[in-house]
A and B are shown apart, each in its own frame.
Chain A
Amino acid sequence: STASEVTPHIPGRSRPLMSPSSVLEEARARLHVSAVPDSLPCREKEFEDIFSFVESKILDGTGGCMYISGVPGTGKTATVHEVIRALNKAYEDGELSQFKYISINGMRLTEPRQAYVQILKQLTGQKATPDHAADLLNKKFTTPGPRKETIVMLADELDLLWTRKQDVMYNLFDWPSQRHARLVVLAVANTMDLPERIMMKRVASRIGLTRMTFQPYTFKQLQEIVVSRMKGLKAFDSDAIQLAARKVAAVSGDARRALDICRRSTEIAENRSPSKKTNILVGMSHVDAALQEMFSSPKIVTIRGLSNQEKLFLRAIVAEFTRSGLEEAEFSRIYTQHISLCRFEGLTPPTTSQLASICSRLGSIRLLLVEHGRHDLQMRVRLNISQDDILFALKKKQMFDE
């Protein structure tokens, strides 16, 4: 069993994972981002387009490129994976000739040229240095050979394959145009105008005009996604799902975000229920609490939790900015303001060292942007939050509540 020793593996669990027992646990398992459903709702058209593109290439025995773009969480990679699954099924049904699927991800590579190594490894199982791998691949794709199967390649996070000479991208898009290659490349990235923005003309032209954009989900689609995952399970109030969907659609249209919020609200519902009832319904209030947790700005909460002198220091900064009309002030100026504020409040003013430590603390939690401490009194201080936020946070409650 040398093979099992050589193949990397994760140690097994001592106890098997528990299967969900209550309705909410079942709901959580289904709402998990990694629990990709068999068919993606609201992406039927995109699926159809990609499927027919790859299918036609396989049937014709030619190669080609497709560029797929869209903001994160719109189902690009999931749709491609689904297409591959469907193609595999078609091959098993005997409707399609054989093909080989490989995938690289720019984020998983330590540097762009490692893409060659990955591709070669997935094609032949051979290990080589990047240069050697590039040579081997070039030979494989450019010379005519007795090759029966088409290779479908998914290149995810394409923008990370960018190099100064763009040789990796060039090769990736040049090989499909070779006559004997029979390579289909599905390139996935976030920005729609990536080929025009960062690629050279000869690289962009090789990508071609077969492009597809995944629009962000609308609230109806997000609602449908959640509802489809909750099918046959009475865990959510339908209004609660709609609230989550509408809030997420207004900000980003990210399906992962919507699923996360729904998961979090099941947890909140479980914690809030007084008795361990089996069927708790997740309502609007739970979703609202989850939304508050995810979307509310932590900065105002932080300001409210600061010590009195730290709050006073923030006020001194605002006072100094209003006095000078600039968005930047020297530490010594703020110190003067701070002392006079202390006098108004009847507090003992801190020493410069104490105030410097206050300043660096606020700088280290990024409420302020400060310079290196070696500039001491000449250190320039900027705010990392708007002045209105500070005033709002400090005014809402009494500033010094003993």
Chain B
Amino acid sequence: MTEFDNFKEDLNKTFPCRQSQINLLLSLFGQRHQYTYASLFIYGHTGTGKTAVTTYILNHLKLPHVLVNCVECYSSRFLYEMILNSLHVNSVTESSDLVKCDNMNDFVRMFKQVSEEKGIDKETIYIVLDKAERLREMEMNILPAFLRLQELTQQNVCVLLLSEIVWEKFRTGSGYCEPFVLHFSDYTNGKYNNQLIEIMMLDHPTEYDENFYRLYLNLVLSVFQMVCRNLKELHHLARLNFQRYAEPVKTGEATAEDTRKLWKNIEPHLKKALQTVYLREVSSSQWEKMQQSIEAGQPPALQGLSSRSHVELPYYSKFLLIAAYLASYNPAKTDKRFFAKHAGKMSKQSKLLKKHERASNHMLGPKPFALDRMMAIFYSVIEGRVAPTANIFMQISSLVSLNLLGHVASDDQIDSPKYKCLVSLDFIKSVSRTVNFEVMRRHLYLNCDI
């Protein structure tokens, strides 16, 4: 029993702040020969240690188990064969020995056979199904059958379902054998008892003092905690920026106790990281490189991913895109005012319209438009005569394949196809600037400030 206690202690050290979950899991599992729940449903947010804790326990207690990721098993056959073959794994040497199984009936029969062959039918076999929400998309019988596998195989088997969504979203049809539902709660981040710091302290750099790193983590969390509580992300960011924090100590500008100076040094840097590295504007390796050459250039000197929204397009394609944008965001009633050559004054009716349409089109998203309308706007905005050649229509379809336009389903695809413009206002502004076309003031119907 002392060995078990040692293991428990070790487990609590490896996974701090998961004590209650670990204790519950261990007591549910019980002894090897004892029967446990037919199925456990474990849920919790990303990075709360669902997979890590369960697999660690199963691995270190050397319990017979199978770990399957349901994303990999896009058809049920792979799921069945993966479970059977990994139970079978020691004796299999050639691919011809692999078990073939393509329905639940065979699976239940062969599961019994394999477990008896391997001599593990006297102890609990654990089947861990990670990302279990994918099971809902497979055939209807899979989830109910896994939930009562103990009953079907008449063997000591326990199915663990790991998921990020709640159990209610799995329910359907004629009901399931309800599993035991276990929640992995989020790590709390109180002022005095910050579980996230506890966990991230596990692998602090050895060359620095423990307290020094703890203070640093406090600073990191004070900046990032507002937007992010994901352990993985925070851990990654803390690792990434630590060199920069420790720099003054290294060069001798400040001592390890001079927290104020260190804070002043790192704070703008972390805030910059929030806008660049956290949103993956700049990749982590680029960020590290920049830190190494910090004297040479400031971090935002490099352009991020999203600022590179410039696309080279042919001349007519640009106008087609502008026309599509105008067709998508202008109400059709205003077309006459904007695009007809000799439009009169604004009539009373259109003034009424302006009052009526309070909600901005830019808030509601693009509207679909017919090809005819887009071509009419195109001929109105472009200077000179353009023949409606096959080339022009080819450019429309290539804009669709570039995902700048979207095809909307309509009744008739050949006669009157419908499109939607999928680009942002900034993009269309930059495109119109390159062709010296003023899109904002003259042509765009705006009834609120942008």
Contacts and interface: CB of A to CB of B under 8 A. Distances in A.
B268 interface: no
A373 B172 contact: yes
Contacts of B166: 353
Interface string A341-358: 000000000001100110
23 contacts: A352-B168, A353-B166, A353-B167, A353-B168, A356-B168, A356-B171, A357-B168, A357-B171, A357-B178, A360-B172, A360-B175, A361-B175, A363-B175, A364-B173, A364-B175, A365-B175, A373-B168, A373-B170, A373-B171, A374-B169, A374-B172, A376-B168, A376-B169
Interface string B148-179: 00000000000000000011111111110010
A364 B174 contact: yes
A148 interface: no
B272 interface: no
Contacts of B232: none
A374 B174 contact: no
Interface of A: 352-353, 356-357, 360-361, 363-365, 372-374, 376
A302 B166 CA distance: 29
Task: In the A-B complex, list the 7 residue pairs whose CB atoms are closest, starting with the nearest.
Answer: A364-B175, A373-B171, A360-B171, A356-B168, A372-B172, A364-B174, A374-B169
A365 B139 CA distance: 21
B136 interface: yes
A350 to B, nearest CB: 13
A373 B175 contact: no
Nearest to B178: A357
Nearest to B133: A374
A356 B181 CA distance: 15
A373 B174 contact: no
How many of chain B's residues touch chain A, expressed as a range?
10 to 19
Interface in B174-190: 174-175, 178
A373 B174 CA distance: 12
Interface centre among B136, B167, B171, B172 (most CB of A within 10 A): B171
A361 B172 CA distance: 10
Contacts of A372: 171-172
B175 A374 contact: no
A5 B279 CA distance: 76
Contacts of B175: 360-361, 363-365
Nearest to A372: B172
Q: Which of A352, A364, A365 counts the most B-chain CB atoms under 10 A from its CB?
A: A364
A352 B213 CA distance: 43
A373 to B, nearest CB: 4
A361 B169 CA distance: 14
Contacts of A363: 175
Contacts of B170: 373
A361 B167 CA distance: 14
A373 B175 CA distance: 11
A338 B165 CA distance: 25
A373 B136 CA distance: 10
A361 B178 CA distance: 11
Contacts of B173: 364
Given A357-B171, A372-B172, A374-B136, 13 more contacts: A353-B166, A353-B167, A353-B168, A357-B168, A357-B178, A360-B168, A360-B172, A360-B175, A364-B174, A372-B171, A373-B168, A374-B172, A376-B168
Nearest to B172: A372
Contacts of B172: 360, 372-374
Contacts of A352: 168
A374 B167 CA distance: 10
Contacts of A356: 168, 171
Contacts of A357: 168, 171, 178
A68 to B, nearest CB: 38
Contacts of B169: 373-374, 376
Nearest to B136: A374
Nearest to A359: B171
Contacts of B168: 352-353, 356-357, 360, 373, 376
A338 to B, nearest CB: 15
A372 B166 CA distance: 14
B172 to A, nearest CB: 5
Interface string B411-436: 00000000000000000000000000
A357 B169 CA distance: 10
Nearest to B170: A373
A305 B171 CA distance: 23
A380 B174 CA distance: 16
Contacts of B136: 374
B170 to A, nearest CB: 6
Contacts of A360: 168, 171-172, 175
Interface in B399-414: none
B431 to A, nearest CB: 40
A176 B315 CA distance: 77
Nearest to B166: A353
A285 to B, nearest CB: 37
A376 B170 CA distance: 10
Contacts of A373: 168-172
Contacts of A361: 175
Nearest to B174: A364
A373 B166 CA distance: 10
A369 to B, nearest CB: 11
B43 to A, nearest CB: 11
Contacts of A374: 136, 169, 172
A93 B173 CA distance: 61
B141 to A, nearest CB: 15
Contacts of A364: 173-175
A379 to B, nearest CB: 9
Contacts of A376: 168-169
Contacts of A365: 175
A333 to B, nearest CB: 17
A364 B177 CA distance: 12
B33 to A, nearest CB: 32
B360 to A, nearest CB: 27
A353 B174 CA distance: 18
